[in-house]
Amino acid sequence: MAAKLTGKRVAFLATDGVEEVEYTQPREAIENAGAEVELVSLEAGSIQAFNHLDKSKTYQVDTVVSAADPDRYDALVLPGGVANPDFLRADPDAVSFVRSFFTAGKPVGAICHGPWTMIDADVVRGRTVTSWPSLRTDLTNAGATWVDEEVHVDNGLVTSRKPDDLPAFCAKVVEEIGEGRH
């Protein structure tokens, strides 16, 4: 599996409040498959990760979303955490960045609360997705069909519900990135 994603570049869009394991485990899986990963965020410096509601480590930002060029990336991952996607969805540059991956047909992975940002990017209408259960109403109101599944793939969009789903999520994200544009 080590060379499956060689030559691919993947953006992780996250900010303060990101659920640590939903950032670190997919990043590790994608890097282990050979891709280059960059942390894109709202501001330069570092972001504060959380383990549920407790502060954990900080992670260095590689690129600020207002200056990020979506064409430089082959795929996007949106980790969860309650605060992280709520901050992202309020930022026009972050919303535009997310939308651009869907417009280009590039693979996107979103876990737990991560799909919140996709609602504001208006990219879930007509798609089938899963998420943390409390997002069900938001996603269905935005035009998505919500399912309670460990992992769901809809035309290059990989979604999962929670940290327990990470093994399945990571495997499917790597697979979809390997397949490329949809």
What are the boundaries of each domain within the chain?
A: 9-179
State the DSSP code for 156.
Answer: T
* Catalytic, out of 52, 112, 152, 182: 112
In this prediction, residue 182 has a pLDDT band, given cuts at 50, 70 and 90, of: confident
Q: Percent of the chain scored above 90 by pLDDT?
A: 98
Q: Is 152 a catalytic residue?
A: no
Whether the predicted pLDDT of 1 surpasses 50: no
Using alpha carbons, list the distances in angstroms from residue 92 to 42, 54, 82, 147. Answer: 10, 28, 19, 28
Whether the predicted pLDDT of 3 surpasses 90: no
Q: Is 170 a catalytic residue?
A: no
> What kind of fold does domain 9-179 have according to CATH?
Rossmann fold (3.40.50)
Whether the predicted pLDDT of 2 surpasses 70: no
Using alpha carbons, list the distances in angstroms from residue 99 to 25, 85, 95, 108, 111. Answer: 24, 14, 6, 10, 17
Q: For the chain, what is the mean pLDDT? A: 97
Token output for 150? 């460990």
CA count, 13 A, side-chain hemisphere, 87: 19
Phi-psi region of 93 (alpha: psi -120 to 50; beta: other; left: phi over 0): alpha
Model pLDDT for residues 109-130, shown as the tens digit of each residue = 999 999 999 999 999 999 999 9
Model pLDDT for residues 42-71, shown as the tens digit of each residue = 999 999 999 999 999 999 999 999 999 999
* Catalytic, out of 52, 113, 152, 170: 113
